[in-house]
Amino acid sequence: MQISSEVFGQKDGHDIERYTITNKDGNFIKVLTLGATWQSFTVNGTPLIAHFDDLAHYDSPASYSLCKSIGRVAGRIGKATATIDGQEVHFDQNENDNTLHGGFHGFSEIIWDAEQSIRDHDASVTFSRHIDSDEDNFPGDLDARITFTLTDDNKVSITFSAASTADTLFNPTNHVYWNITDGQKDLTTQQLQVNGKRRLELSDKDKVPTGNFVDLAGTGYDFSKSRDIPSALADIKQETGKVEIDDAYEVTPSADKPIATLSDSASNRHVDIFSDRNSLVVFTANPFNQSKPYNALATEAQTLPDAIHHDGFGDITLPSGKLQEYTISYQYYEK
């Protein structure tokens, strides 16, 4: 295992570092200090995730949060308010009346400190940051860490940990966009399987959860068996008139059974996704040219969105002084 680093660019007078972790077979990941961004995952010379080649695109409002780390809270907080420990708290309204992906100054906008760790069969880069409450407008000063680890058997794990000086909210993710096909031109042969039976019902107005669930069986959203993305999109359009997937699936957390699997029908590439939380948001996009067909599929493992407003969605409160840790893992293999 080895780690190298270089300056990728500058933002506000600060160097943005890029770290490359390479395993014994020459497969590698790249991560950036801006946004704790996962820039590359390449196996046998094939890139598996979407990326920009320059810092300007990552620093743009139109970046699609491309493979950035998201927090303190992924997804939407309805009406940008929540009751925490009996107190009503107001957050940044950065998407209509709601808070999206941590607000204006979330994890994705931060320049993180970095440290390296190399072991016999894996290596890590850990990003860390002390975030004052008045920096991101969440309660409590937060000490956060995001660790990216690559193993010799091509497993990538992202571990998020944080402790706060006051009761706050914590539901982070990485907004990774996949295309594991040759050339990454479209999603024609990319397939998805999700181990879930329900998705959240979302408001047509602003995509905030209504609190209800919708059964997946027999619909275009049903990925209980592996299927290609274009056929699913065609079914969804016929059933609902919608032209995208931007939905939160309920899944069963597991360290040894994947919540979802990506595959490519034109090759033998697969990626299993593991998570210790109960939701996977799936989103189709073309971050590079909105006028062209979708060529990337985002998977955001997290607790069900807007959980602070819905009983049974999961607990995203982080009590003062408690250290909370979550891990998402991605295992590449061929069969």
Pairwise CA distance, residues 6 & 14, whole Å: 13
User: Which segments of 138-278 are extended strands (E)?
Assistant: 142-151, 155-164, 168-169, 173-174, 176-178, 190-194, 198-202, 209-215, 227-228, 246-250, 260-264, 269-275
Q: Which token pair is 67?
A: 């493979």
Beta bridge partners, 228, equal 191
Q: Which residue out of 17, 109, 250, 300 is catalytically annotated?
A: 300
Cβ neighbourhood burial of 158 (10 Å; 0-12, 13-18, 19+): buried
The residues, any chain, with a CB within 8 Å of residue 89's CB and separated by 6 or more, are 81, 82, 83, 138, 139
Q: Which residue out of 109, 175, 250, 270 is catalytically annotated?
A: 175
Helices (H) and strands (E) in the chain, counts: 3, 28
Q: Identify whether 300 is a catalytic site residue.
A: yes
Pairwise CA distance, residues 322 & 318, whole Å: 7
Using the structure block, give the residue that is written with the tokens 């959240």: 200
Among 62, 84, 48, residue whose Cα is nearest residue 308: 84
Q: Identify whether 105 is a catalytic site residue.
A: no
As a whole number of Å, the CA-based R_g of the chain is 19
Secondary structure letter of residue 111 according to DSSP: B
Cα end-to-end distance, the chain, whole Å = 25
Beta bridge partners, 160, equal 146, 326
Beta pairing, strands 14-22 & 2-11: antiparallel
Pairwise CA distance, residues 175 & 108, whole Å: 9
Phi, psi torsion values for 231, nearest 5 degrees: -70, -35
Active site residues: 175, 300
